[in-house]
Amino acid sequence: MKKRTYILIIILIFLGLAIGTVFSFIYLEFGKPPAVRTHSYLEINLSGGVQEKIPSNLLMEMLGAKPELSMYDLWMNIRKAKADRRIQTLVLRLGYLQCDWAKVNEIREMIAGFRKSGKKTYAYIEDAIEFDKEYYLATACDEIIMHPLGSLVINGIGGYVPFVKKGLDKLGIKAEIEHIEEYKTAYNMFTEDRFTPAHKEMLESIYGDIFSHYIRTIANAKGISEEEIRNLLDHGFFNSEQAQKTGLVDKLLFEDEFIQLIKGERTKIHKITHEQYLKIKPSSLGLNKGKKIALIYGTGAIHSGEGFYKTMGSSTIARWIRKAYKDKSIAAIVFRVDSPGGSAVASDIIYRESSLAKKEKPFVVSMSDMAGSGGYWVSMAAHKIIAQPQTLTGSIGVISGKFNMSKLYEKMGITAEKITFGKRADLFSTFRSFKPDEKSLLKNQLLWIYDKFLTGVSEGRNMSKEEVNKIARGRVWTGSQAKELGLVDELGGLREAITAAKELAGIPASEEVRLIVLPKKVTLFDVISGKKRIQTDINIDAKWEKMIHVFKILERENTLALMPFWISPQ
C-alpha cells in the first residue's frame, strides 16, 4: 500500500512540474508585455556572441540560459526606443564582443541613429582588455563612463595566422589542394608554412583598410587628429585615470554614481532591460506595419540540403526565397547574408532561386561580417548589394582537394588493400596521393566552375568577365574596397537595405513596412506539435568555432567556394 502511495506521489509531482512548465511557457509566449514607465532607460548588455537572428530556444529559456545577442533584436529594440517617448536614455554596458568589425560598425550606426532623436546615450565600461572593437562602438555614445579602478587596453588590430604544414609533415599528413587562383588561400594553413606573397598582400590590404576606418572614425568622434589616435594606440595600456586624462573616456564613476548621472534632476528613473523590451510589440509604437517586405537570413557555412542553426542549407534558403517571391502580398525581398561560403553547388542552387526572385520583385542583399566566396555567389543576382565598410566579401574563386594520410597510416601500422571497380574509384581516398593526370583533371574542373562564377558576377554586376577576373582570383576585399571595385553598390546595414528595397518597390521612404522574417520564431505549440525541434548549442572558443564548424558541415561536399579563416588576435 505504501509503495503505491509513493508511486502516486511521484507521478503527481512530475505531472505538476509538467503542467507548471507548460503554463510558464504559455505565459512567456502570450503573457502581457512589461510595463514601460515614463522616464525609463533601456539597458543593453553588449558582450559575448552576436548572431544575426537567434531562433527561439525554449529548452535554454526554461533552464534560464542567457541567449546570444541578435543583430535583428538589437536593431528593432533600438528603433523602438528611439520612437518610444517613455524611453529617455540608452545605456550600453560593454564587455568583450565575439563578432567581427562589420557587426560592430552596424551596432554603432544604430546608436548614432538613436542619438538623432535627441535622447542621451551612455557607454559604461568596467574593465577593458583588448577592447578596440568595443571602444570603437562606445565612441558613438554621448559619454563613455569607466569604473574608477578599470583599465583600458586599445592597441590596434591584427594577430597571428597559424600555419600547420610542418606539424602535418611530422604526422605524415599531406594536404593536396587545388585552388583558383593565387588569392584563394582558404587551405593555405595546411599547404604552406608561411604567407605566400598574394596571401600577405591580401591580408595587409584588408586589415589596413579596416584600421584606417577605425582611426578616422575615432578621431572624428573624439575631436582629435588621426596622428594623436595612432599615438594613443601605440601606447596601448591605460589605467582609468590615464584614460580620462587623455580624453579616451569622459568620466570615472562607481555604479551608484553612474545611476545618479542617468537620473539627472529627476527623482526617479526606471530601468528596462533589452530582454524585457523585446516583448514590446513594434506596432504599438507605429513601427513594423504596412506593406510587407520579406527579410530572409542566410547565415553560416553553405551546404546542400536542409539548414540548421548557424548553417545555410540550400534547400531551406531556396524554399524561403521561392515562397517570398511567389507571395503576391510581399512587395520586396531583403536577403541578409553572413557566410564564409561553402559548397559551390549549394551556393548555385540559392543563386538560381535568387535570380528567379529578381525577375518577380525587388531583391536586395544586405551583407554582415562575411559574404565572400559562396557568400558572394548567393548574393550576386541582387538588384542591389549593400555592405558595411568592414564586411569581408569577394573571394571569387574555388578550391578542392583532399588530405593524403598514407604516411600517417604507415607510422601507425595501419594497412589497407584496394578493391575498386572503375579506374578512379579511389580518387579521393586518403590512402594515396593524386596522380599527375588526376591533378590536371581536378584543376580543369575547378577552372570550369570558376568560369561559371565569373559569368554570374559579370551578369549580376554588368561587368565584362575580363573585368571581373582582375578583381576575382579568390581575393577577399573589404566592403569599402568592394564598393570602389563595383562588387557592391552601397555602404550600410539592414536599415539601408530596407530603404533600397522600398525605393525599388515604389514605397515612399517615410512609410513604414512590415517585415516578414525567416526563420520564424519557434513557438511552444510548434514544439508540442512536433513541427520544430528544440535546439541546444555547444559553445566553443570563438576563435576556433568558425573553423571547426565549417569543416564539419562541409565534410561531404566536393568543390568549395570558401573564404580563408580569420583568426582573432589574442
> pLDDT per position in the chain (570 positions), as tens?
556 666 666 666 666 555 555 445 544 444 567 889 999 999 999 999 999 987 655 544 544 556 789 999 999 999 999 999 999 999 999 999 999 999 999 999 999 999 999 999 999 999 998 899 999 999 999 999 999 999 999 999 998 999 999 999 999 999 999 999 999 999 999 999 999 999 999 999 999 999 999 999 999 999 999 999 999 999 999 999 999 999 999 999 999 999 999 998 888 899 999 999 999 999 999 999 999 999 999 999 999 999 987 899 999 999 999 999 999 999 999 999 999 999 999 999 999 999 999 999 999 999 999 999 999 999 999 999 999 999 999 999 999 999 999 999 999 999 999 999 999 999 999 999 999 999 999 999 999 999 999 999 999 999 999 999 999 999 999 999 999 999 999 999 999 999 999 999 999 999 999 999 999 875 555 445 444 544 434 344 444 455 555 555 555 566 666 776 544 433
Right CATH number for 289-562 from 3.90.226.10, 3.40.1410.10, 3.60.10.10, 3.40.50.150? 3.90.226.10
Fold match between 30-155+236-282 and 289-562? Answer: yes
Round to whole Å and give the CA distance between 438 and 427: 8
| DSSP state for residue 33 in the 8-state scheme | P
Residue 220, C-alpha cell as written in the block: 572624428
Which pLDDT belongs to residue 21? 52
Q: Which among 425, 434, 373, 437 is positioned nearest to 402, based on CA atoms?
A: 434
433 flagged as catalytic: no
Round to whole Å and give the CA distance between 10 and 453: 63
Round to whole Å and give the CA distance between 160 and 180: 24
User: Secondary structure of 552-568 in the HEC alphabet?
Assistant: HHCCCCCCEEECCCCCC
Q: Which residues pair with 336 in a beta bridge?
A: 297, 366
Residue type, 392: L
Domain ranges, ordered by start, for the chain: 30-155+236-282, 289-562
Residue 497, C-alpha cell as written in the block: 537595405
Strands 384-387 vs 490-491: parallel, antiparallel or unpaired = parallel
Q: Which among 476, 53, 40, 35 is positioned nearest to 279, based on CA atoms?
A: 35
pLDDT tens column, 235-257: 999 999 999 999 999 999 999 99
Which pLDDT belongs to residue 203? 97
Q: Taking the chain, what is the end-to-end CA distance rounded to the nearest angstrom?
A: 65
Residue type, 365: V
Of the listed 240, 347, 373, 395, which one is catalytic? Answer: 373
Residue 304, C-alpha cell as written in the block: 546542400
- Span 30-155+236-282 CATH architecture: Alpha-Beta Complex (3.90)
Could you tell me where the DSSP H helices lie in 462-541?
465-471, 479-485, 494-504, 524-529
Q: Is the backbone peptide bond immediately before 130 cis, with ω within 30 degrees of 0?
A: no
Round to whole Å and give the CA distance between 38 and 270: 8
3-state secondary structure of 508: coil
- What's the alpha-carbon Rg for the chain, to the nearest Å? 26
Residue positions counted in the chain? 570
